[in-house]
Structure 1
């Protein structure tokens, strides 16, 4: 998503395949049953009217106009599958598989992105974003001077002007226009192995994508936020090119169903 790194700125589903996709709102009285960063499994719909700057992000990533138009004019579904496997050294690793599809007359191939949340650099290639070097990891939060808990991460995207804005946006302190915001919800489930610092608060997914050929970097923080009074999965993204120009964006996803 390929943050998955604001909108102008993070594939269609055939009509027949969409017939069984029904809205399935989790019971708010039962937090354990609703999607979380430890269990985001299910199908999500990109709510474009709540998102911001998607076209601008794609343009800065040098995505061709027809592909940008297909993404911005068609419904976009994201299927997330998170699971744990043991590596060759016997260590447990959290995997996060992302499948992105569009639905509509402007069809794009399905994008599949398989991540391991260990911050190890891996190669990925797809028809939209090209050949990438990617990293992903769980992060915890720390407490600010004002008592707010924000994701504790080292920002890799570097620009000559606007670095503080980028860092405050990715941590959820401000929105894409620079205004103050409540930011990410601080949520976590007890007894769930994540590999993140167990002494920290909250839980988020931090990703980085580098396209060396097109000279851009995209950095993303995934979490949950309250948007217009409802809880959504969001990805806060910053994309920067080799000339130091950058764009902020936020993608907002509505939970549809545990079934894909």
Structure 2
């Protein structure tokens, strides 16, 4: 289902379901992250729903600091898969996170623009990754803001970089995330498309 016009990158609260028909396969990316075949198969068959909630307040680790956007994600899946949860604080500070699917991580997130992202990585090692992450967006995303998020798993030696925005898919405005996962010199990319599934209960 198309993203409602009132849903913008600054107002994502609600339920979003991964559209497996329109999205790229996540199997190559998950394999590069060291996930086993059975788990990858279960994820590929599951209906995955993300419940997004955003708010602005100082970070818990800096309660006297400036108010910062927080995005909480509660992810549920059909087929008996256990759900996961995470919190993104958009101040570009590394924070630890752990879950049963991806293990012990540290990640950081921020508001960014595609123009700044391209400039930051022009001529650098990750320029090709940045080019993939910056292509295929609607004008509102090209000229507006994106969620820029980076996570690394030092134990398994991989990193994952993702950008959130809105893209036109089959003539319809859809919430979209583009990912590049790297492990050593190997990289895999994918695009996930999300159907709007209604407001939070």
- After TM superposition, the score normalised by the length of structure 2 is 0.89
Superposed CA offset, 1:115-145 (max 9, x none): 1000000000000011001010011243xxx
Unaligned runs of 5+ in 1: 1-22, 143-149, 173-182, 189-199
Residue 148 of structure 2 corresponds to which residue in structure 1? 206
* Partner secondary structure for residue 145 of structure 2: strand
Unaligned runs of 5+ in 2: none
Superposed CA offset, 1:161-209 (max 9, x none): xx4432210111xxxxxxxxxx112337xxxxxxxxxxx9401000001
Larger Rg: 1
Cα distance in 1 for partners of 2:65, 2:127 equals 40
- Report the CA distance shift for 1:38/1:152 in structure 2 as closer, same or farther (over 3 A): farther
Q: Does 1:254 align with 2:195?
A: yes
Residue 76 of structure 2 corresponds to which residue in structure 1? 101
Cα distance in 1 for partners of 2:58, 2:103 equals 29
Residue 64 of structure 2 corresponds to which residue in structure 1? 89
Residue 120 of structure 1 corresponds to which residue in structure 2? 93
* Partner secondary structure for residue 151 of structure 2: strand
Q: Does 1:184 align with 2:137?
A: yes
Cα distance in 1 for partners of 2:157, 2:38 equals 21
CA RMSD, 1 decimal: 2.2
Larger helix proportion, structure 1 or 2?
A: 2
Q: How many residues align structurally?
A: 196
Query: Relative contact order (alpha carbons < 8 A, sep ≥ 6): 1 or 2 greater?
Result: 1
| Conserved 8 A contact 1:208-1:218 | yes
Larger strand proportion, structure 1 or 2?
A: 2
- After TM superposition, the score normalised by the length of structure 1 is 0.70
- Report the CA distance shift for 1:186/1:215 in structure 2 as closer, same or farther (over 3 A): same
5 Å-filtered alignment, 1:156-171, equals 163-171=126-134
